[in-house]
Amino acid sequence: MSQYRKIIAAVDLSEDSAQVVRRAQAIADNNGGCDLHVIHVIEPLSFAYGGDIPMDFSGIQDEIHQQATAQLTRFGENHAVPPDHQHIVLGKPEVEIHAMAEEIGADLIVVGSHGRYGLALLMGSTANGVLHGASCDVLAVRV
Ligand code: AMP
């Protein structure tokens, strides 16, 4: 079986994220200490309003970006992920996770997965979205 050379862990910066990155780290260690990257995607506030925003949210959006960047920096420090392996982007999580995986040439994406059922299952999840259309392996860690 071929080894993974570059792994990217997608983190929503919730409590579950430590579990996701630890799993990714264990796989990296088992693959000769291969490269581990993390990505956090910020969803633009305009998405929630279907693009038709009645007011200017740019100040709030900047604030969210700054806070998320600070959180990701701390997260990277706590989990020994160097700054140049931390990525923060604006957009739709599954789209941006795919794009970053391609950009850095990742051969494994690690995401968290909540065991969903009922309506939530019908509506889908980020893990599902990442799995569909990924051009490399995807590991869904049960969180
Ligand atoms: P969800 O489907 O939103 O419950 O999220 C499941 C998993 O998808 C999380 O544990 C993360 O691995 C990933 N994920 C969700 N939202 C984001 C985000 N904004 N940025 C990066 N990864 C995310």
Q: Which domain holds residue 21?
A: 6-142
Query: What residues in the chain have per-residue pLDDT under 50?
Result: none
Q: What is the CA(61)–ligand 1 centre distance, in A?
A: 19
Exposed / middle / buried, residue 89 (Cβ in 10 Å: 0-12, 13-18, 19+): middle
Give residue-wise pLDDT tens across range 111-135: 999 876 666 665 569 999 999 999 9
- Asked if residue 67 lies in contact with residue 103, where contact means CB atoms within 8 angstroms, the answer is no
pLDDT value at residue 29: 97
In the chain, the amino acid numbered 78 is N
In a domain, 69, yes or no: yes
Q: Locate 92 and state its tokens.
A: 């739709």
In a domain, 1, yes or no: no
Q: What is the CA(142)–ligand 1 centre distance, in A?
A: 12
- What is the CATH number for 22? 3.40.50.620
DSSP 8-class letter at 3: P
Q: What is the CA(88)–ligand 1 centre distance, in A?
A: 13
**Residue whose pair of structure tokens reads 């970006």 in the numeric block:** 65
Count of other CB atoms within 10 angstroms of residue 40: 22
Nearest-atom number in ligand 1 for the CA of 125 is 2
Cα–Cα distance between 27 and 111 in angstroms, integer? Answer: 13
pLDDT value at residue 114: 84
pLDDT value at residue 56: 80
